[in-house]
Amino acid sequence: MKRFSAAVYGATGYIGSELLGRLLLHPEVELVRVHAAEHIGDPLGAAQPHLEQLSSLQYEAVPEDENAVSPVDVVFLALPHEVSWDVTRRLAATNTRIIDCSGAFRVQSSNDYKRFYGKPHPLPHLLGEFVYGLPELNRDAIRTSRYVASPGCFATAIELGLLPLARAGKLSGRVHTVGITGSSGSGRAALPTTHHPVRAGNLRTYKPFMHQHVPEIVRTLTSAGARDLALEFVPVSAPLVRGIFATSMVELDESVTQEQLNEWVASAYKGESFVRSPQGRLPEVVAVAGSNYAEVGLALGSSHAGKTTVAAFSALDNLVKGGAGQALQNMNLMLGLDERTGLAGPGRYP
């Protein structure tokens, strides 16, 4: 018999899909409720064909009264952030743990939220209650938390790429980042800019310098040791289904060697299960797609006028380490389990 129980809200989306597939195979956690806004009463395979006949569960409507449904140990919210607000407000009256995969509680400043998400936050008193769910930085706080805000996919990639510099005390000033993402990061609904005939064979930027992940990245890296950080982030949509590749360019106020850069990466991720520095190559998406692993590498550029250019590269799967996988990693920590449980397998290659 499994020791814990879980429910997923927003189960027909791509993050929900990844959560369902992995929870059904989790050795310690039983998936007992699956909520969505569509396919009510249908089996899981109606919206997620890869789950056909793998479970007797059916999609249920989101309950209006959380006390009227069976309690669970942990709830995953794979919902738009506006919907997460309402569900979180109701769940707060229960004792369940909440892992929110949206941007609803990733920032702690109401001003930042209004600036980057376009509207005031309706539950500002809860912003400080959510622990930011990046295990490589906040593992101890996640273990004892009731509420976790899982990081954004771009944010996870950029943060992991720059954490070695922040922890070494070398990250300060302006950082220029270009992040390339696959189409699944835009969600299940086809939009004019994400529809396959437009997306395939195309590269385009969107939200330059105003992407909603910027404030969480700056706050996270500052808490890890960065100083006076200003992030200039340009996201790019690419004709990939899965994957994020981020390149961040920084200038250090001193001479460094490639050996030092390698040492900072090794020190930052010593003992980490899901962040690796590839040997003999730089990070690439195909090496991590379909898995909870991320790859990080630093490269030495030129020196001029007393400054040295360094590039930080990172790659991950936006639906796994950048989404559902990281949420499950957080769940394992919150429940006192080995954080690798249900996540240790490699991705698919090629």
pLDDT band at 176; cut points 50, 70, 90 = very high
Q: Is the pLDDT of residue 187 over 80?
A: no
pLDDT digits (tens, 9 = 90+) for 253-299: 888 999 999 999 999 999 999 999 999 999 999 999 999 999 999 99
Instruction: Give the relative orientation of helices 325-334 and 14-23 as an angle to the nearest 10 degrees.
Output: 50
pLDDT digits (tens, 9 = 90+) for 189-228: 777 777 888 888 999 999 999 999 999 999 999 999 999 9
**Does the annotation count 153 as an active-site position?**
yes
What sign results for the dihedral spanned by CA atoms 103, 284, 240, 291?
Answer: negative
Of 8, 148, 153, 168, catalytic: 153
Neighbours of 139 (CB within 10 A): 15
- Give the global pTM: 0.96
Counting Cβ atoms within 10 Å, is residue 325 exposed (0-12), middle (13-18) or buried (19+)? Answer: buried
310: its two tokens:
């360094």
198: its two tokens:
């437009």
Share of the chain above pLDDT 90, in %: 84
CA distances from 102 to 19, 162, 285, 327 (A): 14, 23, 23, 11
212: its two tokens:
């909603």
